[in-house]
Structure 1
Amino acid sequence: MSDLTITRIEAIPYRIPYRKSLKFASGEVSHADHVLVRVHTAGGLTGCADAPPRPFTYGETQRGIVAVVEDVFAGQVIGLDATERARLHARLHRTIGNPAAKSAVDMAVWDLLGQAWGQPVTRLLGGYTDRMRVSHMLGFDTPTAMAQEACAIRDTYGITTFKVKVGRRPIELDVEVVRALRNTLGDKVELYIDGNRGWTASESARALEQLRDVGLTLAEELNPADDVLGRRWLVKGCAVPFVADESATTPAEVTRELLGGSATAVSIKTARTGFTISEQVLALAQGLGVEVVMGNQIDGQLGTACTVAFGAAHEPTVARAGELSNFLDMSDDLLTEPLRITGGELAAPTAPGIGVTVDPDKLARYRIDT
């Protein structure tokens, strides 16, 4: 047994309320009902990562993540050396689905490897730069409220890129919001929209036509990928990159969406593809010549640290602002030192591993399994 032999895995459910609920076409999040995954080694190292369940998107629940990690993955992974990442992944992928649970195990292993080798994960992954520009995600509200929130975020944190949740009916509700944001924020702010599959293809096309003069830079998952012909028709006529998100959760799905004409860009979320599979998705996107966006799974600060660690490591993922700020809506977090957005940017942590530390007192306060 080496010092990097995996000896134990924990899955700790916790709950932290949001100051403001995030509402969107496929659901609403008012609490961070997440699972902290910790992987322990014989040498005393512990790697940590966060698993945010999104039952309305991937079918995972908080209790389901705890169960699959403890009852299935632990038995498959304990006894492996943490450097045997390919073997670890082969065992995890015997189980169908469970993307957030698998991703948390993967990233926790990367975390402890970085600690063992004395290097931040972002450098192990590529080390392209040390920070990313930040995009802030705006959930459903009135035009006035959303414009006020965007102004406050811009003025406080220097963020000038906003992802606007759309997908309501009638579509004019969201058209009015996007226009209000453009009129309030001016031309120097980047706006793009995300429908979370809320509209039909024809509704999406009508909304895009009404917003043609607003200067959108991306359109994401406006309608379901299962609407095969309608989706292809919509994407073919879309004047901006059409981002596959929930429809492209694996490399195979990315291939299907891009080659099938159902998307022209890809969202990468480390919360659902970890670091290892995210590298595969990024390489696939590069090979096919499409843009990528570092997406947000409504992550807390630990999840956001993982996103910026991956995003800052590669040139294509820093080309666009990453969705790195929605932890600002949480009433508290688990980290000993909070992440700080300044000048519209978030720096990747520089300590070995993912580079952040969970506060044991906060974990004790918010965990719900004791």
Structure 2
Amino acid sequence: SGALDMAVQDALAQSTGVSLAQFLGCTATTIPVSYILGISDDDTMLAEAQRVFDRGVRVLKVKVGRDWPADVRRLHSLQAQFGDDMQLYADANEGFAVENAATRLDQLKEMGVLYCEEPLPVELILARSNLQSGQHLPIIADDSTFTFRDLQRELALNTFDILNIKTARTGFTISKQMLSLAQQAGRGVMVGSQASSSLGIAHAGLFAALPGIDHPSELSFFLKLKEEIVSRPPPICEGVIQVADLLNVKIDPDLLKAATAVI
């Protein structure tokens, strides 16, 4: 439904003779981006981080929660390799426990990590509210806010600091409603990734150019892809993507044909 909603909005923009950016009400000309670092051995992880740094990425989202000593070691390795040139934040994927979450968030804060996504299981609503009230480290809501109603619940219980909106999931219409509600509640907002190609990134990126998106957005998944269906993926320069480059992302018919050919 998210993809259908975005396609309809794109068609409406074309029918009125304006760009999708104008139709949506985008105000930013550049968008800070982040990259989701894959789970792998240390050498592979550091090589991947270096590769995307060389492609312009300056913020990494690092998966944590499975093996805490190893998680801390990886974060230290990344900091040793990049220093202040790369900022880090964590995604626990609901992997912490009530007994250790506060301590781990404090440790991440001491290390200079920006924030942590979904530290506790979503079903532990009151525990998540208590954790947020401790203000150990800014908490990102993702799995706990799939829908507008989810967001209303999470705001009522004060469980998070930053909302991760995924336009592939909620389209432009509902995503705008969620953005407005989060802004009214004084929450930060970022745009997340659903393993999107450059084409998906182009649409998510335009949403990230709206007023109120105030944290780096996950708009670089296309750097993981070996093949593309667009003629020119958007370049990343010193941590940002230009909105003008997103508007120029177009499907290449030959690449699309090759990607969908039956072998």
Q: One fold, TM greater than 0.5?
A: yes
Residue type of the partner of 2:258? R
* Residue 233 of structure 1, CA deviation: 2.5
Q: Deviations over 1:14-55 (max 9, x none)?
A: xxxxxxxxxxxxxxxxxxxxxxxxxxxxxxxxxxxxxxxxxx
Q: Does 1:190 align with 2:87?
A: yes
Q: Does 1:202 align with 2:80?
A: no
* Unaligned ranges ≥5, structure 2: none
- Structure 2 length-normalised TM: 0.91
**Equivalent residue number for residue 131 of structure 1:** 30
Q: Does 1:254 align with 2:151?
A: yes
Which secondary structure does the structure 2 equivalent of 1:192 belong to?
A: strand
User: Once the two structures are aligned, what percentage of the paired residues are identical?
Assistant: 35
Give distance in 1, aligned partners of 2:243 and 2:251: 16
Q: Deviations over 1:121-173 (max 9, x none)?
A: 1221113122201211112123343233223322x2332211111121x3212
**Equivalent residue number for residue 345 of structure 1:** 240
Residue type of the partner of 1:302? L
- Alignment counterpart, residue 336 of structure 1, candidates 222, 225, 231: 231
Residue type of the partner of 1:165? K
In structure 2, relative to structure 1, the CA distance for the partners of 1:210 and 1:127 (3 Å cut) is closer
Whether contact under 8 Å (1:163, 1:192) holds in the other structure is yes
* Larger proportion of helix: 2
Whether contact under 8 Å (1:264, 1:290) holds in the other structure is yes
**Equivalent residue number for residue 2 of structure 2:** 103
Whether contact under 8 Å (2:235, 2:245) holds in the other structure is no
* Unaligned ranges ≥5, structure 1: 1-101
Aligned-residue CA RMSD in angstroms?
A: 2.1
Which secondary structure does the structure 2 equivalent of 1:176 belong to?
A: helix
Correspondences of 1:53-72 after superposition (within 5 Å): none
* Residue 369 of structure 1, CA deviation: 8.2
Correspondences of 1:24-63 after superposition (within 5 Å): none
**Equivalent residue number for residue 293 of structure 1:** 190
Give distance in 2, aligned partners of 1:131 and 1:347: 5
Q: Does 1:219 align with 2:116?
A: yes
* Larger proportion of strand: 1
**Equivalent residue number for residue 61 of structure 2:** 163
Residue type of the partner of 2:249? V
What count of residue pairs does the alignment treat as equivalent?
263
Give distance in 2, aligned partners of 1:179 and 1:205: 20
Give distance in 1, aligned partners of 2:37 and 2:172: 26
Q: Does 1:302 align with 2:195?
A: no
Q: Deviations over 1:245-267 (max 9, x none)?
A: 01101121111112212222210
Q: Which runs of 4+ in 1 moved over 6 A?
A: none
Which secondary structure does the structure 2 equivalent of 1:162 belong to?
A: strand
* Residue 117 of structure 1, CA deviation: 2.0
Structure possessing the higher radius of gyration over alpha carbons: 1
Give distance in 2, aligned partners of 1:263 and 1:341: 29
- Structure 1 length-normalised TM: 0.66
